[in-house]
């Protein structure tokens, strides 16, 4: 059986990744660095593949007789017996001199290396993942071992890195030719329902379940804990979280409400799809917009539910009006579906679930690099980026780093000066051309080094 060693500095998340791949908490995990000392082995599973995995101590420098030196010897022993290496760095703190030092050590091992940018959930982590290109170990896999994100990309990288005789290159399923990833239907789809107090979240979830599973009533803020309920919907596994109503932070004084709000925010971070439930009789208040912005910042797929729709008159005209309002007030998630529902009567429940599955597929979408660059070439030809201070901005290349949500990288010259308006133009073009309504779109820029900069500075 093939063996993969997890290598990296202390506290970059190696043990969390080990536990995730092993499917159980075999290794101790703590915020303090240096918890792992001996190497730990286990059987890992990833995308139907089974292999040995080794958790190692952080690559620390020290005399061979010292504790850090002995820990490093254990790590080097793991390198010797491994067939491939997962080199992990912390994308939130970025590359350190230690990362670069040990990258050289790993390069000398002359074994397949997969570079993993861990802790890449959220915008800050995703941006830091780009620094991994500087190590010269290939494209970094943006991953969150804690949240379970990016493992599809890790699986593909592992299959490509290992030799053909490993047996890991057997096709898993027929190719459909569109190079877009499909959501994993074997694990429950994580859905969080959020909204202001008394928007009807618990009532709606009870209606979906077909039973009075959650406490409901006219009093606001009945729900305090975030309650996760697992169920099947026409053969699809679902785990839906009912959360406490979220008020403006300035109005929250009670410690218990603060804890409930923090629990609700955690549910958003762990969700794949967020249903922002509005009261159709008073929609799009400031707090509703704040919650929509929260879901976008966390990179979750978003849809808007208009609850208490049974109380609305002139439904057709009202729905058109509210969809226009959503497009105007929420440009950062342009095209987010707006679905009328009624937790009291069950109206629109089937439609709501259908839209949830659809936005989840869009959130998982991957676009082939060839298609992306054909689109980019045509876009730049018709509307090139503006010159800044007389210097031309040149965009050379574009690729999608990951999905969940769609995350793209631009390569070129002078990209640091690319106007925000042009970046927004590209985002809207991607959304329209590749059918990405309602999901957050991330774009990062990688500017090529100027080979003449050092020569110019020397002349001066």
CATH of the domain at 101: 3.40.50.300
Measure the CA–CA gap between 30 and 20, rounded to whole angstroms: 15
Taking only Cα atoms into account, the Rg of the chain, rounded to an integer number of angstroms, comes to 24
Total count of domains within the chain: 3
Q: Are residues 199 and 340 in the same domain?
A: yes
Q: For 23-74, what is each residue's pLDDT tens digit? A: 766 443 444 444 344 456 778 888 778 888 888 776 655 555 554 555 566 6
Mean pLDDT of 128-144: 84
- pLDDT, residue 452, reads 45
Contact between 430 and 363 under an 8 Å Cβ cutoff? The reply is no
Contact between 168 and 249 under an 8 Å Cβ cutoff? The reply is no
173, part of any domain: no
- pLDDT, residue 392, reads 84
- Whats the size of the chain, residue-wise? 460
Which strands form 141-142's sheet, in the order they lie side by side? 40-46, 49-55, 3-8, 84-90, 113-118, 141-142
Q: For 343-395, what is each residue's pLDDT tens digit? A: 999 999 999 999 999 999 999 999 999 999 999 999 999 999 988 777 888 99
Q: What percent of the chain stands above pLDDT 70? A: 74
Q: For 420-430, what is each residue's pLDDT tens digit? A: 999 999 999 99
Q: Are residues 224 and 349 in the same domain?
A: yes
Burial bucket for residue 61 (CB in 10 Å: 0-12, 13-18, 19+): exposed
Measure the CA–CA gap between 85 and 109, rounded to whole angstroms: 9
pLDDT top residue among 281 and 202: 281
Contact between 193 and 207 under an 8 Å Cβ cutoff? The reply is no
- pLDDT, residue 178, reads 39
Q: Are residues 247 and 341 in the same domain?
A: yes
Of the residues 323, 339, 363, the one at which a domain ends: 363
Q: Are residues 263 and 380 in the same domain?
A: no
pTM exceeds 0.75, yes or no: no
Q: Are residues 216 and 242 in the same domain?
A: yes
- pLDDT, residue 174, reads 34
Mean pLDDT of 187-210: 86
Which domain range does residue 337 map to? 189-363
Contact between 332 and 296 under an 8 Å Cβ cutoff? The reply is yes
Using 50, 70 and 90 to split pLDDT, how confident is the model at 80? confident
Cβ partners under 8 Å of residue 421, min gap 6: none
């Amino acid at each position: 059986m093939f063996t993969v060693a997890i290598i990296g500095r202390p506290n970059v998340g190696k043990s969390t990744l080990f536990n995730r791949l092993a499917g159980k908490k075999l290794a101790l995990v703590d915020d303090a660095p240096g918890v792992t000392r001996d190497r730990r082995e286990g059987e890992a599973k990833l995308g139907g593949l089974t292999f040995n995995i080794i958790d190692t101590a952080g690559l620390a420098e020290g005399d061979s007789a010292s504790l850090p030196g002995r820990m490093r010897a254990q790590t080097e022993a793991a390198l010797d017996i491994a067939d491939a290496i997962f080199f992990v760095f912390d994308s939130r703190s970025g590359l350190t001199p230690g990362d670069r030092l040990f990258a050289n050590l790993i390069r000398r091992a002359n074994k397949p290396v997969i570079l993993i940018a861990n802790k890449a959930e959220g915008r800050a982590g995703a941006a830091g993942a780009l620094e991994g290109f500087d190590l010269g170990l290939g494209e970094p896999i943006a991953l969150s071992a804690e949240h379970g994100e990016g493992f599809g990309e890790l699986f593909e990288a592992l299959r490509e890195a290992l030799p053909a005789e490993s047996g890991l290159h057997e096709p898993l399923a027929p190719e459909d030719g569109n190079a877009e990833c499909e959501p994993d239907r074997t694990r429950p789809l994580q859905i969080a329902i959020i909204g202001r107090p008394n928007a009807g979240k618990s009532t709606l979830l009870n209606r979906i379940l077909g039973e009075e599973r959650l406490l409901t009533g006219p009093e606001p803020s009945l729900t305090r804990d975030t309650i996760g309920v697992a169920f099947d919907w026409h053969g699809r596994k679902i785990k839906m979280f009912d959360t406490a109503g979220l008020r403006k932070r300035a109005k929250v004084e009670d410690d218990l409400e603060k804890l409930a709000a923090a629990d609700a925010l955690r549910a958003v971070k762990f969700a794949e799809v967020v249903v922002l439930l509005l009261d159709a009789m008073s929609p799009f208040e400031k707090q509703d917009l704040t919650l929509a912005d929260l879901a976008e910042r966390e990179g979750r797929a978003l849809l808007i539910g208009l609850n208490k729709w049974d109380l609305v008159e002139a439904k057709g005209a009202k729905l058109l009006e509210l969809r226009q309002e959503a497009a105007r007030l929420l440009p950062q998630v342009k095209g987010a579906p707006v679905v009328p529902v009624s937790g009291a009567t069950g109206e629109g429940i089937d439609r709501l679930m259908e839209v949830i599955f659809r936005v989840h597929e869009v959130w998982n979408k991957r676009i082939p690099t060839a298609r992306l660059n054909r689109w980019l070439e045509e876009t730049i030809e018709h509307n090139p980026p503006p010159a800044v201070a007389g210097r031309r901005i040149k965009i050379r290349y574009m690729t999608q780093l990951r999905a969940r949500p769609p995350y793209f990288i631009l390569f070129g010259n002078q990209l640091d000066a690319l106007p925000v308006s042009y970046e927004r133009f590209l985002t809207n073009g991607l959304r329209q051309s590749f059918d990405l309504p309602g999901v957050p779109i991330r774009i990062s820029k990688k500017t090529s080094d100027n080979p003449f900069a050092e020569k110019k500075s020397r002349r001066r």
